A and B are shown apart, each in its own frame.
Chain A
Amino acid sequence: MMQLFSMAALFLYLLSTAGYVSYLFLQKDVLHRAGWGLLGAGFLANLAAILYEFIAAGRFPVGNLQETLSVAACTLAGLFLVFQHRYRLRVLGVYAAPLAALIMSVSVRLPKAPSQMEIVFNNFWIIFHVVVIFIGNAAFALAAGAGILYLMQESAIKGKNHGFFFHRLPSLNLLDTVGYASIVVGFTMFTLGLITGFLYAKMVWGRFWSWDPKEVWSGVMWLFYAALLHERLATGWRGRKAAIMSIVGFGVLLFTFLGVNFLLTGHHGAFTRW
């Protein structure tokens, strides 16, 4: 059953991708609306899969890589839907929809390994911790997408080369604003996630911080985005620099999310085991 919902979600994400890509080329309004609707449907299917698993297994389903990626795809899709509604940055769909589809396609291919967690995921703090961290990560992913589009549009304007993308991408100001808003949302959520993580760690292990590699890298990531926001507020770091930094930040995030678990070991390891 869960598998069915997951496949439906993947299928809808792929259709949404097709909608957004054809919108990019053909610029017909109906296409991006279709893309948006399909992504919404995919999001609901994805959510259904997660909820089903939650009820069936009696725990929040982030016990292995397959489940974790499913949650990641779901939050990314959901957050994009909200951003799209708020900022009307349609073209970002050509980034968000395929990214959700990619994550989901990896997720459904992975075997459904039994959870190897010793801790039962029913504590409020741990669920909150996981959910806000995922929303934060999704926001950082969108920030990187906006950053990529910003760099493309800037090079079109500076290079005086008004080709395909110049006409199809929105103004630099909008791309910059969306990137900034994504980082603010991401940073807020991520900070909340870290705090609840500390509280949970204190409850379970009796200490806030245990030099687990994931914790260390999360700390690095937090400092990185904190620096980015500080520079923006204090000296007006915007545009190109901010765009590049949000892409680099996403790289750090990917390493923290996946790389740490593959290369190093620690008490967050089970999330990504398969």
Chain B
Amino acid sequence: MDYIIILGLNHKTAPVELRECLAFSGEETDALLRSFSEHAAIKESILVSTCNRVEILLTSPDSDAAIGAAKRFISEYKRIPVSRFEESLYIHQGDDAIRHIFRVAASLDSMVVGEPQILGQIKEAYRTAALKRTSGVILNRLLHKTFFVAKRVRSETGIGDHAVSISYAAIELGRKIFGSLEGMRVLLIGAGEMAELAVEHLIRHRSGDIFVANRTFERGIELARRFRGTAIRFEEIGGMLQKVDIIISSTGSPEYVIDRKMVKAAMGGRKHRPLFFIDIAVPRDIDPRINRMDNAYVYDIDDLKGVIDENIEDRNREAVKAERIIDAAVVSFRKWYESLDVVPTIKALRGKMAEIARSEVEKTLGILHHLSEADAEAIHRMTEALINKMMHDPTIFLKNNGCLRDKAYYVDITRRLFNLDPAELSGSGARPGDSQHRTEEEL
């Protein structure tokens, strides 16, 4: 019986300096998987490598040898002594390993709980392993179950609800004000990473024209080109308030860039359509009293942080529900996994045949009234002998198959061929293209 082993490290156990040393590129992944498949103690393998984690999934009849080999390979490929990363490594086996991969895929183990990218990354890793044929019966089943569990967690809990980054929280607020952001015109005042990220999010939500105002006009032109927008002069901001709907401000200005008078002047001209101010600057650029005016909404950086904190708390509460789903899934997977053992499979097969024989013989004896007790006994003995003869070769084959493929494969085939698990585990396949939506949270 092969063991399921997972070894890895993540943002909690290893600092970024170490994680970046151990990140595997596509080619390195291929090479490592090849080495794994050539190693005697390793049957199946999958490697997941992201900027926040490295996870190696293995099955092996000899877990110590497999773990040792895995460490050695990492050390060789990344040219780093085992002692440097051994401390940060966690190793799980059996149920713990199953639970770990479920939790990782469901994003319970992520830096920000509930961020969806990790699932796509695992799918990608699985696809690589499947193409290289380094994953087999057990890991195929495990990964399909993993995707299924992750999907269930996402749809049945609120773990992925509500934004947890500043820029995305601003988008979510915008949608609560405007409904759809499509066609909303945006004014970016100043520059800065967070502000620019917010603009990018807006563009992804198909916002309308982008205007950029900067103290240095040249810098404004540069930014405007990046967003395919229009640069305007700082003095034009007041007039611009009539045209735009969303204002993102991030300047180093010590006093307010937009005050109440400007907004009041603009409101009539824009027929009181709502104005949404996102003030990322410290000190603030937008007079907070504007928030008290009708149809004007101001969120500063602290407000947005407050929103995020609430949302993170929400997610953590939902994570408890997710753990319950995962616990149940671990149990159901283990059931299947244990069934891969040869002895219970042979027992189940024999049981099934005996059951069929018994009911058929009884049916026949029911019609043949003229047979004596001894005759009936003889028929019973004959069917038993039949079963024994028929079971002989399959049993020998399953118990000591000298074949190239591993035992689990044949046990699985046997169980399916004779339908020994009528209530099949449900699973979902990996879909290509799920991993494209990468954001800043897990790269």
Q: List chain A positions with a Cβ less than 8 A from chain B.
A: 153, 157-158, 160, 162, 166-167, 170-174, 235-241
Contact = CB atoms under 8 A, between A and B. Distances in A.
Contacts of B291: 158
Interface of A is mostly: helix
Contacts of A174: 179
A160 B291 CA distance: 10
27 contacts: A157-B173, A157-B176, A157-B297, A158-B292, A158-B297, A162-B307, A166-B176, A167-B162, A171-B175, A171-B176, A171-B177, A172-B176, A172-B177, A172-B274, A173-B178, A173-B179, A173-B274, A235-B271, A236-B270, A236-B271, A236-B272, A237-B272, A238-B272, A238-B273, A238-B295, A239-B274, A240-B294
Determine which residue in A160, A171, A239 has the highest number of CB atoms from chain B within 10 A of its CB, and name it.
A160
B162 A239 contact: no
Interface string B306-319: 11001000000000
Nearest to A236: B271
Contacts of A153: 176
A174 B303 CA distance: 24
A235 B297 contact: no
Interface string B295-333: 101010001001100100000000000000000000000
Nearest to A233: B271
Determine which residue in A171, A235, A240 has the highest number of CB atoms from chain B within 10 A of its CB, and name it.
A171
Contact of B294 (A162, A171, A235, A241): A241
B68 interface: no
B268 interface: yes
Contact of B303 (A160, A173, A236, A237): A160
A157 B303 contact: no
B384 to A, nearest CB: 54
Interface of B: 161-162, 173, 175-179, 268, 270-274, 291-292, 294-295, 297, 299, 303, 306-307, 310
Nearest to A167: B162
Contact of A171 (B161, B179, B306): B179
Contacts of B271: 235-236, 238
A27 to B, nearest CB: 9
A236 B273 contact: yes
Contacts of B175: 171
B177 A235 contact: no
Nearest to B314: A167
B252 to A, nearest CB: 25
Contacts of B177: 157, 171-173
Nearest to A169: B176
A173 B292 CA distance: 18
A109 to B, nearest CB: 41
B353 to A, nearest CB: 45
A171 B295 CA distance: 13
Contacts of B303: 160
Given A157-B173, A239-B294, 18 more contacts: A157-B177, A157-B297, A158-B292, A158-B297, A160-B306, A167-B161, A172-B177, A172-B178, A173-B177, A173-B178, A173-B179, A235-B271, A236-B268, A236-B272, A238-B295, A239-B274, A239-B295, A240-B294
Contact of B179 (A158, A170, A239): A170
Contacts of B162: 167
Contacts of A160: 299, 303, 306-307
Contacts of A166: 176
Nearest to B173: A157
Contacts of A239: 272, 274, 294-295
Which 8 A-B residue pairings sit nearest by Cβ, starting from the closest?
Answer: A236-B271, A171-B179, A173-B179, A236-B272, A239-B295, A160-B303, A174-B179, A240-B294
Contacts of A158: 291-292, 297
Contacts of A171: 175-179
A244 to B, nearest CB: 11
Nearest to A172: B177
Contacts of B268: 235-236
A240 B176 CA distance: 15
A163 B173 CA distance: 13
A142 B239 CA distance: 37
Nearest to B177: A172
A145 B177 CA distance: 18
Nearest to A238: B272
Contacts of B178: 171-173
B241 to A, nearest CB: 15
B341 to A, nearest CB: 41
Nearest to A159: B291
A166 B169 CA distance: 13
A172 B274 CA distance: 9
